[in-house]
Amino acid sequence: MLSKEQLKQILVSQRETILKKDYGIERTVLKDITEKKNLPHVIVITGIRRSGKSTLLKQIIEKYYHNKNFYYINFEDERLFNFNASNFNDIYESLIDLYGECTTFFIDEIQNIPNFETFIRRFYEQGFKFYITGSSAHLLSKELGTKLTGRHIDIKVKPFSFPEFLTLKKFTIDKHKLYQTESRVKIKKLFEEYLTKGGMPEYLIHDDLELLMNIYEDIIIKDIAVRYHVENVTTLKEVYQYLTNNFSNKFSYNEIKKILKLGSVNTVKKYISYLEETHFVHTITKFDHSIKKQLINDKKLYLIDTGFLQVLSTRLTRDKGWYLENIVYNELQKQFTNVFYFSNKHECDFIVVENKTIQSVIQVTWEMNENNKEREIQGILAAMQMLQQKTGLILTLDQEEEITRGNKKIIVKPVWKWLLE
């Protein structure tokens, strides 16, 4: 057990670290904090490892608290690994001794402390404000849902969006630049870089692929194998390798079970759910008015960031259309809860539903040419007709036009332009 003096040394060094941390690219998600910070609710910031959760805390501390009147604790620090909720009073007393009385806590990677929700609830009821981060969506929602039902607000931090990527590259975007030839050429070049490299902040800054592999290994070992007591890590990795090589393709749990010779479909389901809980992937299902059919239909899987494909995919040929599709899904997932794919005789990539209303029908392809144009149009038309939609959207790398078929209008637009609108 740490002495009070040792604990104070740790807390002082942690505070110095967060205050010295580079402010970085101001995250778009900061505007969500602006809207929520005056509420009494616990702000829960989740996201994949190394996506910028601590940087977001730094931005909140500087922008809204002016680097004053706050407590900061980082439970990712191995020196605090033996702490649990019952030791929190020791930390609190040490913080008061060091910085006087404050009512705002910033806590990094709180899920590392067993029963953390008990002291959060106790201090919350005394009027304290909390900003907490964690890498496991399931763990945080489960524990806080039990003790703080209706008292917490979730904010998701994702890898850099394309506008944030442009800011990192020191490219200022405005509406006029979308129509200037030189600017469009520059934007398209940067978009193709974004398509391959993705938006993981640390990797983009240092351009070292080992950083991406390290994040993935930490997710497999620390976030999944250790937390869920998975003994056969090799099988776990085989499942994830298969999924990564076939991202954006339809799959079934039973299919994976047979291909990898696994004993149970439930094992496949569990392994995929673990990966989803770390925010590394998302799965979607075929659109159907029947919830029961949605549950049993084949799934599609998308990665949180296309950059990871550089170190994880073993495919010899890479369909860039899949990269576009993955980026489009990630953008949709930021805004909407329910995203499906459409499939009958024809296929359409995305059906977006919100409040039981169809928001959009979207097809994604690298380019439309004489070999695939009719297939892509028939796919989106089939979805539009079934769902009684008059307008659809086809997103490509760099084509732009309007297509009319009967009373249906299809807008064709570059993905990069759609991301910037």
Task: Record the tokens describing residue 170, joined without a space.
Answer: 């020191």
Q: Are residues 168 and 144 in the same domain?
A: no
Question: What is the C-alpha separation between 97 and 79, in angstroms, rounded?
Answer: 20
pTM of the model as a whole: 0.94
Please count the structural domains in the chain: 3
Q: Are residues 20 and 145 in the same domain?
A: yes
Q: pLDDT tens, 368-377?
A: 999 999 999 9
Q: Are residues 146 and 185 in the same domain?
A: no
Model confidence at 116, pLDDT cuts 50, 70, 90, reads confident
Rg for the chain, CA atoms, rounded: 23
Q: Residue 369 domain-assigned?
A: yes
Q: Are residues 30 and 152 in the same domain?
A: yes
Q: Are residues 39 and 71 in the same domain?
A: yes
Q: Residue 265 domain-assigned?
A: no
Q: Are residues 50 and 86 in the same domain?
A: yes
Total Cβ atoms within 10 A of residue 206: 10
Q: Is a pLDDT exceeding 90 seen at residue 71?
A: yes
Q: Is a pLDDT exceeding 80 seen at residue 105?
A: yes
The residue segments making up the domain with residue 68 are 4-156
Determine whether 270 is exposed, middle or buried from the number of CB atoms within 10 Å of its CB (0-12, 13-18, 19+). Answer: middle
Q: Are residues 94 and 75 in the same domain?
A: yes
CATH number, domain of 9, equals 3.40.50.300
Give the closest residue to 397 by CA, choosing from 333, 324, 336, 330.
Answer: 324
Q: Residue 143 domain-assigned?
A: yes
Question: What is the C-alpha separation between 210 and 402, in angstroms, rounded?
Answer: 43
Q: Residue 209 domain-assigned?
A: no
Q: Are residues 68 and 145 in the same domain?
A: yes
Determine whether 291 is exposed, middle or buried from the number of CB atoms within 10 Å of its CB (0-12, 13-18, 19+). Answer: exposed
Q: pLDDT tens, 134-192?
A: 877 656 666 777 777 788 898 999 999 999 999 999 998 887 777 788 899 999 999 99
Q: pLDDT tens, 336-378?
A: 999 999 999 999 999 999 998 999 999 999 999 999 999 999 9
Q: Are residues 116 and 181 in the same domain?
A: no
Give the closest residue to 392 by CA, choosing from 269, 238, 383.
Answer: 383
Question: What is the C-alpha separation between 255 and 268, in angstroms, rounded?
Answer: 10
Q: Are residues 151 and 167 in the same domain?
A: no
Higher pLDDT, residue 198 or 183: 198
Q: Are residues 28 and 114 in the same domain?
A: yes
Question: What is the C-alpha separation between 420 and 413, in angstroms, rounded?
Answer: 12
Task: Record the tokens describing residue 45, joined without a space.
Answer: 């910031």
Q: Per-residue DSSP letters for 341-410? A: EEESSSEEEEEEEETTEEEEEEEE-S---TTTHHHHHHHHHHHHHHTT-SEEEEEESS--EEEEETTEEE
Q: Are residues 183 and 152 in the same domain?
A: no
Give the closest residue to 305 by CA, choosing from 186, 93, 157, 183.
Answer: 157
Question: What is the C-alpha separation between 371 and 264, in angstroms, rounded?
Answer: 41
